[in-house]
Structure 1
Amino acid sequence: MVMGEKIEAVFEWLLWNSRFAILLAVVASLLVAFAVFFVTSVDAWHLVSHILSYANPHLSSEARETFHLQVVAHAVSIVDGYLLATILLIFSLGLYELFISKIDVAAASKGSRVLFIRSLDDLKDRLAKVILMILIVSFFERSLSMRVSNFLDLLYLALGIALVALALYLTHRGGHARAEDEPSNSEH
């Protein structure tokens, strides 16, 4: 083997194995996902433990309404936290499958195929859908505390709802169009 070919072989080996640097992002994303799951679960536990005070007969109707809005807003933020943790989990699994190796245990599993990532576009698609859900949940959370004092406020709220519906429709429609373009498993 000529010296140039040896250098090329070593360089290509180094280049190919540099993909293992992705493991840092995989592990870090996984750890942050677990941390967000934990923090959000603690928030959920505190919400449930405080919810019993809603049954207090001494609460005025105004205090009860305020408490109700706070509980709903807190519940929505809990959903937001779980969605964020889900994004990090999907990101971690997707990076691993794209750059390192298919997850053999997942392939053998009879469970959901939602976490199978076939390409970078597939990963981006799944992340975008979860991010869209976080934005929708955040919009809902903010709309709970919005005070509608005039027609323009109501119009802005309605426009926001219409745009959220449009985003959901386009996301759903785009997913179906992509599924129709992919060959079915029976054709292979």
Structure 2
Amino acid sequence: MFNPRKIEAYFELCLWKFRLFTLIPVLFGLLSTLNFFVIGSLEVVEGILYSFQADYQEDGAFIEVITKVVGGIDHYLIGIVLLIFSFGIYELFISEIDVRFQFQEVKILQIENLDQLKHKILQVIIMVMVISFFKKALSMEIKTMLDLLLFASAVLLIAVSSYLLHLQSNNNPLIRSAPQKQQKNDHNQG
């Protein structure tokens, strides 16, 4: 016999289990993290090896070493974005990571809502952009006053965006984690 409650319960169970498909981006995010860490490490090692062979008297040797090391850091940061994404998606859709509670001092991977996840990813993406800008700035030749003005403007925009991001994370209750909220409440009561 047709029972709407049973159909509804079955549909809701299927809908609830459908969230397990988010394991796919979690898994590939972790694999991509590993990939970017390996690529970053290879680039840093390449920079270190180049530094032993480089003739620092010739133009550009020092900049080449710094560019390789900074490029490695850039890859590490992209890997960190993917790691934060994977942890966040897992905790939001699958389950809290129980082992995390044994290491309370590590708060970067504590994600309670989607806004917090987006904010943490955005912070690291901005850092990637800053590092990429720094890497490009090393090889940039400033020939005119306009070049210098544009370069200074870009640095100013990066500084302002970092400051605004810092303000937002300190003032937005959706983004602050529970321990930060508790510290602020304790401070206000004392």
- Give the TM-score normalised by structure 1: 0.90
Residue 17 of structure 2 aligns to which amino acid in structure 1?
N
SS at match of 1:184: helix
Which has the higher relative contact order, 1 or 2, with Cα contacts under 8 A spaced 6 or more apart?
A: 1
Change (3 A) 1:129 1:40: same
Q: Which residue of 1 aligns with 2:39?
A: 39
Q: Identify which range, 33-42 or 12-21, moves more after superposition.
A: 33-42
Segments of structure 1 that go 5 or more residues without pairing to the other structure are none
Looking at structure 2, the residues matched to 186 and 71 of structure 1 have their Cα atoms a distance apart, in angstroms, of 44
Q: Which residue of 2 aligns with 1:105?
A: 99
Aligned pair 1:135/2:120, yes or no?
no
Q: Which residue of 2 aligns with 1:184?
A: 182
From 54, 72, 88, give the equivalent of 2:66: 72
Segments of structure 2 that go 5 or more residues without pairing to the other structure are 186-190
- Give the TM-score normalised by structure 2: 0.89
Deviation at 1:50, TM superposition (A): 2.1
Q: Identify which range, 104-113 or 171-180, moves more after superposition.
A: 171-180
What's the % identity of the aligned pairs? 34
Matched ranges for 1:5-84 at <5 A? 5-54=5-54, 59=55, 61=57, 63=58, 65-84=59-78
Q: How many residues align?
A: 182
Looking at structure 2, the residues matched to 128 and 50 of structure 1 have their Cα atoms a distance apart, in angstroms, of 33
SS at match of 2:148: helix
Deviation at 1:178, TM superposition (A): 2.2
Q: Identify which range, 117-126 or 168-177, moves more after superposition.
A: 168-177
Deviation at 1:108, TM superposition (A): 2.1
Looking at structure 2, the residues matched to 60 and 165 of structure 1 have their Cα atoms a distance apart, in angstroms, of 32
Provide the alpha-carbon RMSD of the alignment: 2.2
Deviation at 1:112, TM superposition (A): 1.0
Deviation at 1:184, TM superposition (A): 1.3
Q: Which residue of 1 aligns with 2:162?
A: 168
